[in-house]
A = this chain, B = another copy of it.
Amino acid sequence: MTRTPGESFADRHWPGADARAQAERVVRRIQDRICAGVMEVEAHASLSSSSSPSPGFREDRWLRPGGNEGGGITRVLQDGHVFEKAGVNVSVVSGTLPEQAVQAMRADHAKLQVMTATSGVAFFAAGVSCVLHAQNPFVPTIHCNYRYFEVDTGAGTIWWVGGGTDLTPAYVFDEDCRAFHTTLKDACDEFDPTYYGRFKAWCDRYFYLPHRKEARGIGGIFFDDVDELPLARAFAFLATCGAAFNDAYFPIVKRRMLDPYTDDDKRWQQLRRGRYVEFNLIYDRGTRFGIFTPNARIESVFMSLPLTARWEYMPDVVPGSREQHLLDVLSAPRDWIRSSDH
């Protein structure tokens, strides 16, 4: 692993590329904020339990091998007081997309559809992705990913932003779900009154395990190919979503992290972690892109996997139990915000 000084990748590799440097600043700021949020609750738990200090984040700065440009900063905290595994990764990369990748992307990206077939296009991407798995079974797992993408079509550069934030509890507290969705909706509403509704539905469609006939979690927002805002406003949208991540999640963590739990609660959490692994290895596009990309930094790709997981054959779920409540919630998407009106 090559460690490099802390300057911006964009400053170093693409001097004068303002949009690229700005995209990198946005995703690195989201990374910093999330890590600060994690460390705040870790410090709080260290104090209240009079236990040893939190292990803190390990940071690895890496460069892409094989002549491709860019690299990233991966931060992982393992076996903390509050978090079993917390991974927050920034990557800033560029190069040439092979024709196959362009074809695969065309369905998702409106402007790429009008491009004629080509032998590959130059691209730039800056993104942050984060998965936080807590120790306490009553603290949900959370995931987010925000990215800026730029493609040189030959007849000019096109860009878009994408990403989302979604929550995966092992036990459902309805008030947590409502507060979580409301915070994300408020962030979206600043930019477009249709965003939350569309991006919430997109999230429900994406984070779904057909072989289990259940959602991965209680959703959140998910979007891609957003380019109708002015560029500065698109960056502001990413930054606002990134800030909303902290506001939506850490209050839940603080509310639940000291709740007592039993071995059975922990066992259920571990079983749910198994479903999380299933989603990421079988369906998640980002993970599978990393797995099948030669020379991808596999440790950063698999940072999202939980520290521990469990698969039992035909586990019993007691009717009317809190475990059954989760399964009911995951069987069909809910309108969490409307349901708070009743």
Contact = CB atoms under 8 A, between A and B. Distances in A.
B298 A211 contact: yes
B299 A313 contact: yes
Contact of A312 (B78, B277, B309, B313): B78
Interface residues of A, number: 34
A309 B74 CA distance: 23
A274 interface: yes
Contacts of A238: none
A308 B307 contact: no
A313 B303 CA distance: 6
B78 A313 contact: yes
Contacts of A274: 305
A313 B281 contact: no
Contacts of A306: 311
A291 B296 CA distance: 26
Contact of A281 (B212, B282, B308): B282
Contacts of A311: 85, 302, 305-307, 309
A60 interface: yes
Nearest to A60: B314
A327 to B, nearest CB: 14
B78 A291 contact: no
Given A277-B281, A305-B274, A291 B85 contact: no
A302 B271 CA distance: 13
Given A281-B277, A291-B282, A308-B308, A313 B87 contact: yes
Given A291-B211, A299-B313, A313-B58, A308 B278 contact: no
Interface in A262-286: 270, 274, 277-278, 281-282
A310 interface: yes
A36 B76 CA distance: 45
B277 A299 contact: no
Interface string A45-78: 0000000000000101000000000000010101
Contact of A278 (B74, B78, B281): B281
Nearest to A298: B211
A142 to B, nearest CB: 17
Interface of A: 58, 60, 74, 76, 78, 85, 87, 211-212, 270, 274, 277-278, 281-282, 290-292, 296, 298-299, 301-303, 305-314
List the 9 closest A-B pairs by CB distance, nearest first.
Answer: A305-B311, A281-B281, A76-B313, A211-B291, A308-B310, A299-B314, A309-B309, A211-B298, A281-B282
